[in-house]
Every structure is written in C-alpha cells, then in structure tokens.
Amino acid sequence: MQDITNKLYKNHSLIYKGLLFVCTTFLIVYLFPKSGKFKYNFEKGKPWQSENLYAPFNFAVKKSDEEIAAEKQNIIDHSIVYFNEDAAIEKKVADLFNVEFKKTFSDSLPKSTLVNIYNTGNKIISELYHFGILNEDYNYPDDRVAVILEGQVKKHNTQFSNLIKQDEVKSSIVKLLSEHNLDDYETMFVSLFFDLVEPNLTLNESFTNKALKDDLDKISYSRGSVEKETLIISKGEVIEGDKYQILQSLKAEFESQVWTKSNYNWILFAYTLLVSLALLMLLLFLRKYRLDIFENNTKVTFIFFNIFLMVLLTTLVVNYNSKFIYVVPICILPLVLKAFFDARLGMFAHVITVLLLGSIVPNSYEYMFLQIIAGIVTILTVSELYKRANLFISVAQITLIYIIAYFAFFVIHEGSVDTINWETFIWFILCGLATLFVQPLIYAYEKIFGLVSDVSLLELSDTNSKLLKELSNVAPGTFHHSLSVANLAESCASEIGANAMLVRVGALYHDIGKMKSPTYFTENQTTGINPHEELSPKESAKIIVDHIINGIEIARKYNLPDRVMDFIRTHHGTSSVYYFYMKEKELNDTAERMDFCYPGPRPFSKETAILMMCDSVEAASKSLNNPTSIKIDSFVESIINKQIEEDQFLNANITFKEIESIKKVLKHKLANIYHLRIEYPE
C-alpha cells in the first residue's frame, strides 16, 4: 500500500494531466452536435462533384424558408377575424329613439311626414346594426372575412368593409336620409343619433388568435417526397432549383433523424477520438518542445481552459444564430498564449482549436481557412503587446484579412459581387473590437492563474515602484548595480532573441535580498568600514549567501511573480563565495567548499543564464584597474568560461553560439562604459 501511495505521489503531475485531458475531452464532446454529419459538400449554382447520388431512404422534400415565410404571411393576411355582438344594444337604441323622437320632432309637421321620418329613423337603426358598429378602429383590410358571434355562437359572416366604424356613422345616416328625400332634417337626425348610437361589436382576440394558430399549424413544410433508390443528382449536374432543395432536404433529414442508441454511441465515440487526438497532439508538442510548460500543471490547465472557452463561446453563438459566427474573437487565443508563452505555442494551439471548431460551424472549410489565416496574421503582427498602438494596429490588420478572405470566398462561390451580404463585414468589425478585450482578459488571467505577461513586466520595470524605491533608499549601491546589470542583460537578450523585457525586470529585482543587510556588500560601503573584518569567513559567507533567501522572502511579501523570483533564485546558481572560501582555507585546510556555495538552483532558461553572466561581469568589472580592450576581453572570457566549467548553464537551453554572442555584447558595452577606443590591428 505504501508503495502504491509513493508511486501515486511521484506521478501526481502526470495523473493530473491525464485527468485534465479526459475532462477537457468530454466537456468539448458534450458541446458537439450529437447527430450524424452529412458527408457531401455542395453549393447552389455549382456542379455536383461526387458520384451519382441515390436516395438512401424515403424522405420528404422540404419547402424553402422563403416559400414557408410567404405561405405564413398569406395566411396571416387572410385569416378570419372574430367579433362579439352585444344584441341588447340595438333594442336599447330603438327604445331610446321612440322616446327622443317625440321630443325632437314637432307635432305641427304633417302626419305623413312624421311617419316617414319615424320609419326612416328605424330603418337607419336597422341598417347601422345589420352588421354592427365597431367599438374602435381596427386596421384590417376591407376584404378580410369577419365572423359575428352572438355569445359563443356564429351568427353570420361578412367582409370587414361592411362593419361600420364610428367615424362612418354620420355618413351612413346622411346617405339614408338622401334616399328618402329627408335632407332638410339632416342636422336634427345627426344630432339625435349622435346621442343614441352605441357600438355593439368588440374584437374577440382569443377566437381570432386561435383561428390564426390553427391555420398556421396546418401548413405543410414539405412538398412531395423522394422514394429510396431514386436518382437525386448526377455527377457534374448543376445544383439549382428543385435539385438544390431536394439535397437540402436530404441533408436536414440525415442530420435530424432519430438515431438508435447504437448510432448515438458510435457518434460519441468517434467525436471523442477526434477531440482526444487533437488534444493529445497539443500535449505531445508541449512535452517535446515546451518541457518547462508541460511540467507546470497550472500552465497546462491555462492552455486547455482557453481552448475549451473558445469552443464554448462558438457553440453558444452557433446555437443562437450561426450568422453571428464571425463575431466570436477566436484570435484572442493566439494573442493570450503569445503574451504568456511564445508565438509558436500560440499558433499550434490556435490551429488545434480551429480544427475542433470545424465540427461545429457551418461552411467548415471556409471558416477554418479564415481563422487559420487570421491566426497567422495575429502571430506575425502582434509584438510588444504592452504598447497600446501595436494592439490597435494588429487588430485592424486582422479585421482587414478577415474581410479580404471572406470577399475572395464569396466571389469564388457566387461568381459576382452583386448579391454579397455587406452585413457580414459588420460582424468582422465587431470581432476586431471584441479582440481588443484581450488586454483586460490578460490582466484577469494573471490574477487567476498567477502568470506574468509583458504588460505586467512593463509595470514591474518602473523604477518608481514601491520596492525599487525602497531598494534605492536602503541600498543605493545595489540599486545602481541592478540598473547597470539590467541594461547589459537587456542588450544581450535582444542579441540572441531572448525575452528582453523579462530579463530586464529580473535584473532589477535580483539583488533585493541585500536590503536586509546592505552594508555587508561592497557596493553599499561608503564609509570605508567593512563589517566583514569583525566576522569569520563562514559568517561572512552566510550573510552573502542569505541574500538569495532574503530576496525570495521580500519578493513574496511584495507579490512578485514566480518568473521574476526565478532570477533571484538562480543568478548565482551553485557557485561559491570564492573570496571567503579562500580566506577560510588559509585558516583551515579542511574547509568544505559546499559550506560556501549558494543554494541554487542553476539557471534553467536563456534569460536566467544571461542574468548570471551579466551580474558576475558587471560586479567584477568594478575591480578592473586601468582597463583596456584586451583586459576587458580577457576578463569577460575568464568569468563566463569559469561558469561554463562549473556547469552552471547545464540546465539552460542556451547554446555556445549564443554565449559567444553574449560575450561580444558584454565586451562592447564595458568598452563603452570605460570610454575605450577599439584597438584595431596594425
């Protein structure tokens, strides 16, 4: 049991990566569509490239979206409108008319005239309420069928134009009076009926909406069917008209049909294989070319998280509306990975992600081509992300590449630009604007995952920061030494293509541990008194060596990133405090060199190796008397060669050629510092 526990502990990092790999694979597969994918690619107006296609099963030919939309609109335009009639209102108006008639018309009129007026009034009431008066103005076409309901029972049908609107009551009265030669009584009649007439028709919304819904539900989404083994299209035949609609119907039927449990499991298995293969390639890339990242579980988690995030965002957009697919800022992925790691890893992860997205998006070939090209442009153009102008320029270039590539694809597919959808260009511009979100995203990632980007390094390089201010006040000599080393290291890093910003920041902070006891270091001794004279060589060596441990403690207190603390740990490697070791040896022949060595570790990157060389050369250069070019050359060679002999660079991925380039830079810089002329051979 103990052996198993020990093995698990020993391999816990690999076990974690295995679990991360499995979890990410299943999460991505969960987001993928769970139906089969139609194996033929076709485009309207283009020849059929595959062999003759026969119907693999019976299926219905679906109507196009335009046909269905037109059919729905036609039903909406001609649907029946239902109105409720209040039958009591007509009787109420007639009764009031009998009462008001006697008050309005004088008995002095001839009896025949009064009878004619009375009968005309009743006829007006009958005409007005024959179909009914609307309670408000409804905006329906005149030819719309209107059904009058008495209670819940259908009374009669008519056209909407026969129903009287309230503003039409007067004109109806005037018309009837004219027909009965009673124009002289128009004013009296209009005044009388204005007070009497009430609307008796109200819209029955529930009946109207239900009738419309029933009619819409009866729409057939297919027109005809295709029998199994029927020839659908021949090779070379142009895809248009009914052929295109039949192919679309076959594709939709294939992708939406109900799958058996066996089919479903096979599809899941196939997707799992593809996703795991893609993620495995990424892990193998890290294992072979980025071992330091592979061995850091936080960094591997960060990379897998970003890939999953891009797949998640794209899936959500596709499920909502696939026309917005190009709004998703996929180029954020290579930007982020380049900011924290390097361009090659950013490009590799971007390609893997785009390949995964090919199983989700429509027009996968076009999508993958555009995104890979945009990713390449992102990697090639974005440099020094901490400079705001660079990011804006790069985003503009990325957006332009999207637009050019999409335009080219459209012309290839359609053969002209007449029907180009200019709205898509707006999505590309929005994608470019969304890509600018990378700056706050990088800041959030730094806090969540404890990583450091060039943006943070720029902030840390500010000599007015609290920690560097304290260093300049407490140990001014060490601060000046750190500035000199930073300038040397930055030049060397630029010469061999290392991260110049990182090595500069590392150099500025590498000696902060000397703040604990600044006067024990020669660069801070201004009074001529050396406190080491009162200590034994071992005690002095311990104080010197402890500035590494003290530096790490201070760095943690000020929350410096691990990448910066690496410079504090490694800038002396496992070398010895040679002066005090030799002094101890004079007193004691049995002195152990290990008692005078720094704890390490040795430098394990180009940047930390550069700092070790520059720190040693700069510190030792203070002891040069009457420096000449020959002296400086010999001095630089001896210091760095000694470090090589002690295997200090054994773990750093730095070549002899790069070390020689660093030597040349250091010789040239020191010659400039001491204002020496280059000695040309005679």
Query: How high is the pLDDT of residue 616?
Result: 92
Q: Which residues contact 601 (CB under 8 A, 6 or more apart)?
A: 569, 570, 573, 574, 651
Tokens of 336: 């982020």
pLDDT at residue 171 greater than cutoff 90 = no
Give the helix/strand (H/E) hosting 497.
none
Query: How high is the pLDDT of residue 194?
Result: 73
**CA dist 181 to 114, 333, 581, 608, Å?**
13, 87, 136, 113
Question: Which residue spans within 296-440 are E strands per DSSP?
Answer: none
- Give the confidence band of 680 by pLDDT, cuts at 50, 70, 90: very low
pLDDT at residue 21 greater than cutoff 90 = yes
- For residue range 185-223, what is the model confidence (pLDDT) as tens digits? 677 777 777 777 888 888 888 888 888 888 888 887 777
- Please state, for a pLDDT cut of 70, what percent of the chain lies above it: 90
Positive or negative, the CA dihedral 485, 491, 496, 497 is positive
- Give the confidence band of 256 by pLDDT, cuts at 50, 70, 90: low
Report the Cα 84 to chain-centroid distance in Å.
55
Average pLDDT over residues 16-24: 93
Give the Cα separation of 174 and 88 in Å (integer): 25
Query: How high is the pLDDT of residue 34?
Result: 60
pLDDT at residue 262 greater than cutoff 80 = no
Give the Cβ contact number of residue 37 at 10 Å: 14
Angle (nearest 5°) at CA 150 between 148 and 154: 55
Query: How high is the pLDDT of residue 191?
Result: 74
Query: How high is the pLDDT of residue 570?
Result: 94
Query: How high is the pLDDT of residue 383?
Result: 67
Question: Which residue spans within 2-55 are E strands per DSSP?
Answer: 53-54
Give the Cα separation of 119 and 387 in Å (integer): 93
In the chain, what are the domains? 10-32+262-445 (no CATH), 74-216 (no CATH), 454-673 (1.10.3210)
- Give the confidence band of 260 by pLDDT, cuts at 50, 70, 90: low
- Give the confidence band of 173 by pLDDT, cuts at 50, 70, 90: confident
Q: Is the pTM of this model over 0.85?
A: no
Give the helix/strand (H/E) hosting 202.
strand 201-203
Choice between 117 and 503, residue whose per-residue pLDDT is larger: 503
Query: How high is the pLDDT of residue 614?
Result: 95
Dihedral of CA atoms 183, 187, 188, 189 in degrees, nearest 10, equals: 70
pLDDT at residue 164 greater than cutoff 90 = no
Query: How high is the pLDDT of residue 55?
Result: 78
pLDDT at residue 422 greater than cutoff 90 = no
pLDDT at residue 662 greater than cutoff 70 = yes
- Give the confidence band of 637 by pLDDT, cuts at 50, 70, 90: very high
Residue among 483, 484, 508, 523 nearest 623 (CA): 523
Lowest mean pLDDT across 136-140, 305-309, 507-511: 136-140
Query: How high is the pLDDT of residue 258?
Result: 47
Residue among 339, 346, 401, 341 nearest 369 (CA): 401
Mean of the per-residue pLDDT values of the chain: 83
Q: What is the DSSP string of 37-49?
A: -------TTSB--
Kindly list the strands in the beta sheet with 145-150, ordered across the sheet, starting from the edge strand earlier in the chain: 153-159, 145-150, 81-85, 201-203
Choice between 23 and 117, residue whose per-residue pLDDT is larger: 23
